[in-house]
Amino acid sequence: MEIKQLKYFIEVAKREHLSEAALELDIAQSAISRQITQLEKELQVTLFKREGRNIYLTEEGKQLFSEATKIIEQLDETIRLFHNQSESNHFVIHIGYVESYISQVLTLLIQSFENESDSIVEPILMEESEILNALLTDQIDIAFTELSHEIKQNHTLKVNPLFEENYHIYAPKDDPITMATNPPLAQFSNTLIYELYALPQSMKQILGKVIESPIRTVTHPQLAQYLLNHQRAYIITASYHLLDKNPGKWVDISLEHTELKRTICSVTRKDNKKHDIQLMNATIDQLLSRSATYH
């Protein structure tokens, strides 16, 4: 039994007239007759009784008419449901982002965009390893992530480099390394280092080549400051994460001169036709340029 057959049957049943149903459906009368015959053979019943040029529903035909009408109405309702969902989703922009400086400015970006648009933004914090696949499979519309070789080589993507993200390290004030100018990462090889919040995997790989001890994680500035106050460890973190100044206890050393840096970019699919996606990209350009600075 096919949906097409049920639709043909319903039109004939409503009118009890083949030629009128054919006219309404804009198909040949013979095509309708053929489909009705196939339906009767499949169900092993007679749906219409024929008297001259007139046709009438049999009891079985009346029963099928009731059930078929319910089926087609449910089908139409399902189609409307998905059409409405698709239309509604057209006005939602899903932003996937990795933990970075973007987290600090995302609220401003969303507010600026939504003040100018009928669309809304749904932000989704994601792991670096999953964000590209989410973009390529339409789970998100825009990605804020590290500019990788894989992203650079994908010609289906529109890539907009935004800014370079750097790192710094806090060292106990009496440590001799605080006297060095632009110390290389190798000078920290024998020290105990904690990361304030988890570093990106690419940055951990760079550090892993020169730091001998495992890098541990703390997720609260107060704990990081305690470790520094008691000269227990160094604290490494992104440049936009700052501890309260305490010149008597520790020194802030910039690592901007080292290889410990990454470029953050926004990425969209070139074939994304979602409503106001261009406005969102323009808002990103306005608020987050490649020369952006932050403290």
Q: List the one residue out of 2, 281, 250, 274 whose CA is nearest residue 119.
A: 274
* pTM for the full predicted model: 0.68
Say what the pLDDT of residue 89 is: 67
Domain's final residue, options 38, 73, 89: 89
**pLDDT recorded at residue 84:** 54
Q: 65 lies in which domain range? A: 3-89
Mean pLDDT of the chain: 89
Q: What percent of the chain has pLDDT over 90?
A: 66
What phi, psi does 56 have (nearest 5°)?
-135, 150
Eight-state DSSP code of residue 162: E
pLDDT in tens, 95-106: 999 999 999 999
Q: What is the pLDDT of residues 129-180, one digit of tens each?
A: 999 999 999 899 999 999 999 999 999 999 999 999 999 999 999 899 999 9
Same domain, 85 and 133: no
Asked whether residue 86 carries a pLDDT value surpassing 60, the answer given is: no
pLDDT of residue 82: 64
Q: Mean pLDDT across the stretch 287-294?
A: 60
**Are the beta carbons of 226 and 219 closer than 8 angstroms?**
no
Q: At 253, list the tokens.
A: 């050393």
The answer on 176 and 81 residing in a single domain is no
According to the model, what pLDDT value does residue 292 have? 45
107 Cβ partners below 8 Å, 6+ apart?
Answer: none
Q: How confident is the model at residue 51 (pLDDT cuts 50, 70, 90)?
A: confident
Distance in Å from the first CA to the final CA of the chain: 68
Specify whether 76 is located in the same domain as 219: no
pLDDT tens profile 180-200: 999 999 999 999 999 999 999
Q: Are residues 283 and 212 in the same domain?
A: yes
Q: What is the CATH number of the domain that holds 267?
A: 3.40.190.290
The residue-averaged pLDDT of 286-290 equals 79
